[in-house]
Structure 1
Amino acid sequence: MNLNSLLLRPPTGLLHPAPVDPDRHTMSRERLLAYLQIKVHHLIQEQDWDSIRIVGGYDRTRGISRYEKSGKLFNTERPTAQAYGRDLLVQAFPGADYVQHYALIIATYLVMTGRPADTVAYQPPGEEECRTALDALDLDLRGDVVIVGWGLEHLAPRSGVWNQGPGYCWQRTQVGGTGVVYLGFRHSIWGDVAGRTVARLARMGAGAVVYVGKVGGLDPGTEPNQWLATGNTSLWGGALVSWDDFFGDYARTQPGVRSGLHVSSPSILLENQDWLAQHAASYAFVDPEIGPMGAAAGRAGIPFGYLHVISNNLASLYPADLSNERHSDVLRRRAILLDRITRIITARLTGGTPLHGAAP
């Protein structure tokens, strides 16, 4: 969707995000601001606007933020922004959760830097718009296990070649006689986008989907970047969702792996102290994607599994959190955990129980 069509679209269904109270968030005020500063587009950080509208739209031809990550193959792209006079249009990859999340980021950042947030509004993308945003994903899958998410450069064979697609890259290999496709995206597959990704992969012939990423821990005794998380149930949309777990009982029995109930949250900004009090007693982990992905896999009739680094702790203050993920010690610890993930996935493929949805 181009800039002109978005600007000319009547501003119906606009919602105004409520900035979060930084003193009630599970991150400290200082760390929350540091997290926001690496996410907010430079045009917002450097000048004021009469209005800021966030919409669903994937356009990499202009308006790229100077604060995008570098030195990585995947998950480097952030929402783009274009000025229209004194108004700013921000385009996030189409997904209801992601558009809301980025609107909350901007509104909270403005409040924390002493500027009014009532200039911020967001327009949730429609279901058809969200679905067609993934039409560019086109792979010939023949019952392959698709490993998607974070850390893929470390998980995939170093000698392999990454094939380039529009907004994504993939690499195919064999592990223990099973076809495996490593699939990474340059843009974020946040929240409901991740669920649609699983649904599309199933339609293209995936036999199973494995998601490798990062979760927040809700147990105060779990130090970040020391443990892996897995499970087969998530609280999503007010209901528990379970799926046919790719790992079965294998991953949860391995050293350094914790299992438990997961809760899906559409935005880190919503995870304040009240949210924590409501969920900490019953749930072990939180992220935006696992619930939608597990539900989509269940509807498609294929196994799904997650094996994540516990990257931060919402219930206790540790040196590492989401504001300093690029620190050298954090990267070193996560590299060790990625090695462990590789060994667990390889063992599952070479010596675990058969995949229910995989081709022979």
Structure 2
Amino acid sequence: MTSVLAGPTVGLVKAAAINDAGHTMGRGSLLRYLQIKVHHLIQDHHWDSIRVVGCHDRTATVSRFEKTGKLFNTERPTAEAHGRSLLVKAFPGADYVQHYALIIATYLAMTGRPADTVTYQPPGHEECRRAVHRLELDLDGHLVIVGWGLQHLAPASGVWNRGPGYAWQSATIAGHRVVYLGFLHSIWGDVAGRVVTRLAELGARAVVYVGKVGSLTPGIEPNTSLATGNTSLVGGTLVTWNDFFGDYAAGQSGVRGGLHVSSPSVLLEDRDWLARHTASYAFVDPEIGPMGAAARQAGIPFGYLHVISNNLTGHYPADLSNERHRDVLRRRAVLAARIRTIITGCLAGRPAPLLKGSR
């Protein structure tokens, strides 16, 4: 097999470790966050060079730190050793490849090891498109609910059907046809936008994304409330979409509305970044903006209803480094039930079939 490391280096980017002292997570939480993300071959061994590329390859070495006890989003980048060099294979997406390279470089720097060994090769548009086009579903006017917490949202009696890297379940909710869709791999950043484009091509009439956002507003305790909205700052431009929820979700108790900002990596959200965004924006995550932009381009409604999982403006017991803690899981299960109730209520207020003639 020909080594990818021996191939062309055109487009290679050096992954610069971030200054951990200025990050919003704080040094202790940031290091814990990195330790649960970085492949064990990097934590256990020293390498002369590490390159991150866009390639979904489950035949390479799987990290022993992959998540367990979850239905979806369990897979992390895999790795392949070539002598003293390591090739890290992340699901093809420009944001995800950059994000994981920053994770590795910052982890190495924080553990006293050379970080200038890390590079990444942004995947091309066509390879990103091909990776998402493995998704094949018959969506004849369905609402597709994609993302986090699907085991709490889908009917408990339903059957999960499996495809390559994803699973789905169909149901009828308040007279509307609904598909719950989850992925084994991460649909980080621009990947999530391509998923929406693909779902529209397959016949989806609307997409709802359920996930987690960070708060940019002081005083909001993580895992106690939900976030929604219809506008995101994407690459310096405000993007607004046809909101699936309209005013319904924001009018429910425990739900906060506001402007969202899309960030390609948690590692880039330092205190300087926060200072530039906190006055105007309420939430941050990598996916909402690309998904909303893709839905707008496809001419279908899109909505998000997310758990506020962390707060960048201060330190709380719960953050991105301890999301598997029992109390965090308990609180999020309560919020997931609330999300299910809001989605059902929103559908119940609409005539079936869903959004007939909206495409």
TM tier, smaller: over 0.9
1:220 aligns with 2:218: yes
1:102 aligns with 2:61: no
The match for 1:289 is 287
Percent identity for Structure 1 against Structure 2: 71
**Pairwise mapping of residues 96-135 of structure 1 onto structure 2 (< 5 A)?**
96-135=94-133
SS at match of 2:101: helix
The match for 1:12 is 10
The match for 2:337 is 339
- The question of whether the paired residues in 2 share the 8 Å contact of 1:100 and 1:122 is answered with yes
Q: Deviations over 1:215-247 (max 9, x none)?
A: 000001111000100000000011000000000
Q: Deviations over 1:168-196 (max 9, x none)?
A: 00000101111000000000000000000
The one of 251, 254, 259 equivalent to 2:252 is 254
1:180 aligns with 2:178: yes
Q: 1:278 to 1:290 in 2, by over 3 A?
A: same
The match for 2:270 is 272
Deviation, structure 1 residue 12: 1.2
SS at match of 2:2: helix
SS at match of 1:94: coil
The match for 1:140 is 138
343-352 or 144-153: bigger deviation: 343-352
The match for 1:39 is 37
- The question of whether the paired residues in 1 share the 8 Å contact of 2:263 and 2:286 is answered with yes
Q: 1:282 to 1:359 in 2, by over 3 A?
A: closer
Q: Distance in 2 between matches of 1:239 and 1:270?
A: 18
Deviation, structure 1 residue 6: 2.8
SS at match of 2:32: helix
Deviation, structure 1 residue 130: 0.6
Equivalenced residues, count: 358
Report the AA paired with residue 58 of structure 1.
H
* TM-score for the superposition, normalised by structure 1: 0.97
Deviation, structure 1 residue 62: 2.5
Q: Deviations over 1:67-124 (max 9, x none)?
A: 0001111000000001000000000000000000000000000000000111000000
Report the AA paired with residue 240 of structure 2.
S
Report the AA paired with residue 116 of structure 1.
P
- The question of whether the paired residues in 2 share the 8 Å contact of 1:208 and 1:357 is answered with no
Q: Distance in 1 between matches of 2:283 and 2:351?
A: 26
Structure 1: unaligned runs, 5 residues or longer: none
Q: Distance in 1 between matches of 2:60 and 2:324?
A: 26
SS at match of 1:189: coil
The one of 146, 150, 153 equivalent to 2:151 is 153
SS at match of 2:98: helix
* TM-score for the superposition, normalised by structure 2: 0.98
SS at match of 1:23: helix
The one of 80, 87, 90 equivalent to 1:89 is 87
Q: 1:209 to 1:358 in 2, by over 3 A?
A: farther
The one of 187, 190, 205 equivalent to 1:189 is 187
Q: Distance in 1 between matches of 2:42 and 2:6?
A: 22
Cα RMSD between the aligned structures? 1.3
Report the AA paired with residue 167 of structure 1.
G
Q: Distance in 1 between matches of 2:34 and 2:137?
A: 35
Report the AA paired with residue 128 of structure 2.
C
Q: 1:27 to 1:357 in 2, by over 3 A?
A: farther
Report the AA paired with residue 238 of structure 1.
G
Report the AA paired with residue 110 of structure 1.
L
- The question of whether the paired residues in 2 share the 8 Å contact of 1:142 and 1:359 is answered with no
SS at match of 1:49: coil
Deviation, structure 1 residue 7: 3.5
The one of 289, 299, 302 equivalent to 2:300 is 302
The one of 211, 226, 229 equivalent to 2:227 is 229
